Amino acid sequence: MSFNIQAGTSSARYHHYVTHSWRQVLPHTQRVENLDSIAELVATYDMVGLQEVDSGSLRSGFINQSRYLATHAGMPFWCHQSNRKVGKVAYAGNGFLSRFEPDAVEEHRLPGFIPGRGTLLVRFGNGFDGLDVAVVHLALGKRARTQQLKFLSRELDSSRHLVVMGDFNTQVDSPQVQELREVLALQAPTRGLATYPSWQPQRAIDHILVSRTLRAGVAEVFDVTYSDHCPVAVEIELPEEVELQEATRPVIDVVPGRDPA
């Protein structure tokens, strides 16, 4: 599953961006209630990629939301990448929850004119038979987004079994994403599933892309307004050589990857 959670702030109308804007900088009880609803939703999944998740600032009540969701969803493993800090008010990034324990986690800063975008690369197993999962949140602007997708094409080209999920801020059939899919041999099982805005989904901008070496099954989008995005999920059947181990520790060190040139 992939879900842009808008730092735990629910949205049900466009005007909430204005009338609820204070919730982006101040804590409130509804945020925790909303996180509990998100935790209940994701609890049935094996792996969950999160975007716009707060790592512990004023607006979240200094709660690391990745850790909170993992705990309340019964997920034994979690990790977090902090990308954009606004003083003590907001500290947003990507998160990952899993029932399986990865062998390594890398964080990569993505290129762009405005810093604060990144990808969290989670590696299960080693070498040719491993599974790599990348959680991404791409830029709003086309030029920066194109740079970021080219960077991902280079960084992920050694992955045989690969899942790339997140908020792409563009359609899966856009030229930039098509190039990524061609270079990395990715299929798009969530194509056409509109996720934004959550109260009346019209744009399919949240995607889960999977290698052609993996068998993609049922894909679905969830009609909930826990965020301004709807979550999207897909069933994936792994080949026999990919062996996953149940998680025995809640978090491992996240190592920095190569910076964009």
Quick: pLDDT tens for 138-151: 999 999 999 999 99
Is pLDDT of 85 > 60? Answer: no
β-pairing verdict for 131-137 and 161-167: parallel
The residue with greater pLDDT, 21 or 125, is 125
Q: What is the mean pLDDT of residues 65-76?
A: 95
- Residues 53-70 have a mean pLDDT of 79
* Residue-level pLDDT at 197: 97
Structural domains in the chain, sorted by start: 2-241 (3.60.10.10)
Residue given tokens 């964080």 in the structure block: 107
pLDDT tens for residues 188-209? 999 999 999 999 999 999 999 9
Q: Residue 93, SS3?
A: strand
pLDDT of residue 127: 76
